[in-house]
Every structure is written in structure tokens, then in C-alpha cells.
Structure 1
């Protein structure tokens, strides 16, 4: 039920370029979200990419920690907050979640903001 498989990760360079050049985006502090309707048929409703800027977090340990927390919060909440709405509307999306916060946040804060982000995204994507 709460899995995060390879097929759910966004790895295709062409899709990533298209996402950042022609996708929609919004801010849900401490996240910057870019999304786009998927051009091809895919196995999962969402393909997602997580990023943390090297400019703000010099140490790889900190970047990896933030990405791990983001992935975990996403993995636990995607089914109820995002997948059900997208499946109901029969839509597939590409998604990028970038961390732009100034400080290392704890898991409780990241999870609360991730839930808000997923609700907002579900609303925008199913319009």
C-alpha cells in the first residue's frame, strides 16, 4: 500500500526538461512545486522528483536527510490525498518537489506541509 517504487520516480531527462520549461508551478513553503500533465501513458498516476538545492545546503548529508524526509512524507500521504483524486479524474501528472526552506526542518513540519501541498496539487490538477 505505502510503497515508492522505481516506476514512480521521474528519471526521464526529456520529461524533466519539459516539466521545468512548460509546466505549472506554485509555492507551498518550504516547497516549490512544478507539475505538468503527463504526455505518455504511465503505470502510476504520478511520477515524482525530489530536489534540495546545493547552494543553500552545502553538505550532502543535509540534502540527503531532507530528501529522505520528503520522500517518506510523500510515500505515506500520496494514496489518500493525491492518487484517489487523480484516478477519479483519470489524469496522470509529472511532479517536481524542491525544498527551498532556509533551515533544516523536522519530520512533523515536513509531513504537515506535504499534506497541504498534496491537497493543493490535487485541487489544481483535477480542475
Structure 2
């Protein structure tokens, strides 16, 4: 797996996103929550990921976009470590629900905890 987050890896399908929130499972490391769903994609990518920040907590688009950039970068740099050996296809949504703008180090630490919990929950299901 390359350390990229290209167009094919982005979760864009409204149908899959809707299904993700109705049928998906989640793990959390406050203020982050990862909602995931085992699914099948037409392309050969193993994971498609989206990020979300609440408009209620961050009225300014500048702030929401900054947090989303931090989330995507932390995901991009850490995905190989946790998702490199994944065998099935998953849809992920990373949601930030905090009230203040985080630093990159904070987001990176929380993303690591989030993916450790995800891999642990997947190991229990096997």
C-alpha cells in the first residue's frame, strides 16, 4: 500500500455512506469515531475512507476544512501500518466530534489509537 490518499480511496458513494451509518459498527477514541462496514467495491482498492467534521461545532468552513486536512493526513501516514495486511474491503468514515481545533500531533495520536481498536475488534471477529 502506498502512502497516498488518491481519488479511488475516497468514499464518495451516497449509497455506501448511507449503508455505513445504518449498518456499520464503530470504535472511538474521543474526539474521533471510526464507523466501518465490510463491503465490496468494484475497484480493487481495499479501503475507502471519508472524513467528517460537525458544522454545529465549527461554524466556519475554514476551521472544518483545517480539521479535515489534519484527519486525512494522519490517516494517509498511518494506514499502511494498520491496514496494509487487511484482506477484505471496508468503507470507513472518520468523524471528529470535539469542540476545539486540534493540533496535528493530537490528531495523529488519536488516529493511531482508533486504528489499534479497529484491528483489535477485527481480530476478535475472526
Aligned mates of 2:50, 2:74 — CA distance in 1: 14
Q: Secondary structure at the match of 1:25?
A: strand
Q: Secondary structure at the match of 1:50?
A: strand
Count residues with an aligned counterpart.
123
Residue 112 in structure 1 maps to residue 109 in structure 2: yes
Please list every run of 5 or more consecutive structure 2 residues that lacks an aligned counterpart in the other structure. Answer: none
1:55-82 CA-to-partner distances (Å, cap 9, x unmatched) read: 0000000000000000000000100122
Task: Provide the residue aligned with 2:97 in structure 1.
Answer: 100
Kindly report structure 1 stretches of 4+ aligned residues shifted beyond 4 Å. Answer: none
Aligned mates of 1:44, 1:123 — CA distance in 2: 22
Normalised to the residue count of structure 1, the TM-score between the two structures is: 0.90
Aligned mates of 2:3, 2:83 — CA distance in 1: 13
Q: Are the aligned partners of 1:48 and 1:97 in contact in 2 as well (CA < 8 Å)?
A: yes
Please list every run of 5 or more consecutive structure 1 residues that lacks an aligned counterpart in the other structure. Answer: none
Q: Secondary structure at the match of 2:93?
A: strand
Q: Secondary structure at the match of 1:98?
A: strand
Normalised to the residue count of structure 2, the TM-score between the two structures is: 0.91
- Alpha-carbon offset, residue 123 of structure 1: 2.0
Aligned mates of 1:33, 1:2 — CA distance in 2: 20
Q: Are the aligned partners of 1:28 and 1:117 in contact in 2 as well (CA < 8 Å)?
A: yes
Task: Provide the residue aligned with 2:28 in structure 1.
Answer: 27
1:18-50 CA-to-partner distances (Å, cap 9, x unmatched) read: 000111112211112111101345422210010
CA RMSD of aligned residues (A): 1.3
